[in-house]
Chain A
Amino acid sequence: MEFYVISLLNSLVFGMLLFMLSSGLTLIFGMMGVLNFAHASFYMLGAYFAFQISQFAGFWTALVIAPILIGLLGAAVERFGLRTVHKHGHVAELLFTFGLAFMIEELILLIWGRVALNYQVPSSLDFTIFRLFESDFPVYRLFMLAISVFIFVVLYLLLTKTRTGIIIQASLTHPEGVGMLGHNVPRIFMLVFGGGSALAGLAGVIGGNYLMTSPSMAILLGPIVFVVIVIGGMGSLTGALIASLLIATLQTFAVGYDYSLIDLLAVFNIELGPEPWFPDLWRIKVENTGPLLPYLLMVIMLILRPKGIMGERES
């Protein structure tokens, strides 16, 4: 019981963090058809900026300033980089963001070095809020959950209830039509790109001290975020939410089971010989499959339902 409740809470926290990253990515993709490879790099930059700002001005200032800076940076990248390569097509845009991700990682190595930063949870949030069965539940996780739920609600209201949101939604599917109505579509693109980057930056600010702030954090999380938007359906916010929670739950729960195929066979009273075929395969424990599961799920999804959970189109 204890294992289930704690794991559920943890997967909710991790899932909402994933959603904060994937929501920006899926919006950018749905709108511009650009798969932003540098998205996870903005997440990483968010953590590094937050660390640097919190050295001078404390965590709470960093929480506000760092995402704004990342958002401005994202808008600049769209304005001066993506727009230049746009005429060469989507592959060139994808390659540009790929190169950008490469460069951001190298620049982080250049400025902050190779080792992980000592970016800590602020002392005002570093205590236990309640005891659940035998284990402590840190308040910071609750704080992360609160921020990400807040962002989800704001994003939802912004996109469905405000005029800007409705224009953004319209440009998702009919950019030319929106342009005809006299809206500045390139500026909307820049806004969405900046906003999505700011969300990634915010995820970095609150996730960097919870997970780890190191130059490899973009590479560790980036591919999973891509998997989330494939499974959720490219361009769909609801799909991204479901897929984020699904993947987080899978990864969190997998850690708790140490069964292997040998144990499964033992249930049916089958015993393997001393030298079975593919000796490794039978010995793989569920707890070690965590890194593999999202990708496996993605492949299964692509075979069964290529457009993803909530996707409306296939590419």
Chain B
Amino acid sequence: MLKRYGVWIAAALILVILPQIFDSGFAITMLSEMCIAIIFALSYNMLLGQGGMLSFGHAVFYGFGGFISIHAINVVNDGGVPIPLELIPLVGGLAGFIFAIPLGYISTKKAGTTFALISLGLVELVVACVLLFPSFFGGEEGVSGDRMLEFSLTGVGFGSGIEVFYLIAFWLIVTSALMYLQTQTPLGRMANAVRDNPERAPFVGYNIHLVRFFQFSLSGFFAGIAGGLLAINYEIVNSEMIGAAASGHVLLMTYIGGVGHFFGPILGAILYTFLHLTLVNITMAGQIYLGVLFIVIILWAPNGMAGIIMVHRPLWQAGLIRGLLPHYLVALAAGLVVFFGAMILVEINYHLSLSIEPDNPIRLFGVEFKANSWPPWIVSIGLILVGFFLLRPIMKNIRLKWDELTREMQKGKFA
């Protein structure tokens, strides 16, 4: 019992306790955004991870969920239909589901590159519609509403951020449990089969188009729930939520977290949201760092953070992980040298091109210097080169040590 449900109970406990520890306004906002991002990323992984469908337009269903939810809130406030606020995300989910049916039917006929292209075309189609249908999308400024409805299942007013956070956390637990269970159903399993071998999957008796289509529609449902929660959280929805940029964010966070494991998108959503929200306050170049992280993951760790963790699991269980740690620390130090060099380079360039007064000195870690003088350039390029040439032998050492430990582990198995 505890073994089976332990993770879920622990997750629920953490969600209850976290906002009590971090109770500043900024922390609550960040926690809420993280939870919404987790639902959105998990729903995206139903496509990319489970079904092998690389979509560039998943935010369409997120956005429709948000828009329909905010309209639903306004309808309730106008005395139309009595829906309690707790169930508004379900309205968003249904909206995402209903929009995913026609769009999914067209786009899931093919997988792979064609699917990716079609998803891109569809998101642009929806974005082009935003300005043509101002009474639904609210034009440039978006649609706003008041989440403090008179109907409530729990009697909570949802006036404060923390009350909304608990609503979001509740939906996070429910949806992620459902999405996890979905991976165990025949549909979830067949989605994996269709992803791995679309030629042989029909021989088991399944229509691969329909499998992809059902998977796509369900994924639209959960994305819609995430969108509805975002609408409740900010009480405003605008076209930014539905566009290609939002779709790009969910792709980045899911891939960085790792598409091969259920918990990958959760890690990715937490890290990405954290970096996204904190980097904005520190530097103008936040997007560059996230982009570099993404490219590094694609080139050297295609299974993401979850993949990195899972690779180490056998060594951890065999108790051999300690042998690798000193090597990792050295590699980390060398990596940081490269990173600092690159960071100085990026920051001085941003300072020169985007700040109002490029001649003013720039502050990095308490050191002030002029960006348009030559020492910072030499220091940064020097750091990058030194770190790069240090990293190469270190990586080779890690590989050797890795092979040695694997051999040792296998010997232990057979002994």
Residues of B within 8 A of A35 (CB): 113, 116-117
A96 to B116, CA, bound (A): 14
Q: Do residues B110 and A314 form an inter-chain contact, with CB atoms below 8 A?
A: yes
Q: Do residues B295 and A315 form an inter-chain contact, with CB atoms below 8 A?
A: no
Q: Do residues A81 and B136 form an inter-chain contact, with CB atoms below 8 A?
A: no
A234 to B56, CA, bound (A): 18
Task: Please report the number of residue pairs spanning A and B whose Cβ atoms sit closer than 8 angstroms.
Answer: 126
A226-B120 in contact given A110-B350, A306-B109 (Cβ < 8 Å):
yes
Residues of B within 8 A of A295 (CB): 121-122, 124-125, 128
Chain B interface residue count, CB cutoff 8 Å, equals: 47
Q: Do residues B114 and A113 form an inter-chain contact, with CB atoms below 8 A?
A: no
Among B285-304, those with CB < 8 Å from A are 285, 287-288, 291-292, 294-295, 298-299, 302
Among B34-59, those with CB < 8 Å from A are 48, 52, 54, 56
Q: Do residues A280 and B135 form an inter-chain contact, with CB atoms below 8 A?
A: yes
Residues of B within 8 A of A306 (CB): 109-110, 114
Q: Do residues B128 and A111 form an inter-chain contact, with CB atoms below 8 A?
A: no
Would you call B129 an interface residue if the criterion is a C-beta within 8 Å of the partner chain's C-beta atoms?
Answer: yes
Q: Do residues B132 and A315 form an inter-chain contact, with CB atoms below 8 A?
A: no
Q: Nearest-CB distance from A222 to chain B (Å)?
A: 9
A113-B112 in contact given A98-B251, A292-B128 (Cβ < 8 Å):
no
Would you call B17 an interface residue if the criterion is a C-beta within 8 Å of the partner chain's C-beta atoms?
Answer: no
Would you call B255 an interface residue if the criterion is a C-beta within 8 Å of the partner chain's C-beta atoms?
Answer: yes
Would you call B202 an interface residue if the criterion is a C-beta within 8 Å of the partner chain's C-beta atoms?
Answer: no
Q: Do residues A230 and B116 form an inter-chain contact, with CB atoms below 8 A?
A: no
Closest A residue, CB atoms, query B137: A280
Residues of A within 8 A of B110 (CB): 306, 314-315
Q: Do residues B121 and A298 form an inter-chain contact, with CB atoms below 8 A?
A: yes
Q: Do residues B116 and A288 form an inter-chain contact, with CB atoms below 8 A?
A: no
Q: Do residues B299 and A110 form an inter-chain contact, with CB atoms below 8 A?
A: no
Q: Do residues B117 and A226 form an inter-chain contact, with CB atoms below 8 A?
A: yes
Residue in B124, B132, B133, B288 whose beta carbon sits within 8 Å of that of A110 in the complex: B288
Chain B residues within CB distance 8 Å of chain A:
48, 52, 54, 56, 106-107, 109-114, 116-118, 120-122, 124-125, 128-129, 131-136, 244, 248, 251, 255, 285, 287-288, 291-292, 294-295, 298-299, 302, 346, 349-350, 353-354
**Shortest Cβ-Cβ A-B pairs, 5 listed:** A295-B125, A292-B128, A315-B114, A291-B128, A280-B133
Chain A residues within CB distance 8 Å of chain B:
29, 33, 35, 81, 84-85, 88, 90-92, 94-96, 98-100, 102-103, 106-107, 109-114, 219, 223, 226-227, 229-230, 234, 279-281, 284, 288-289, 291-292, 295-296, 298-299, 302-303, 306, 314-315
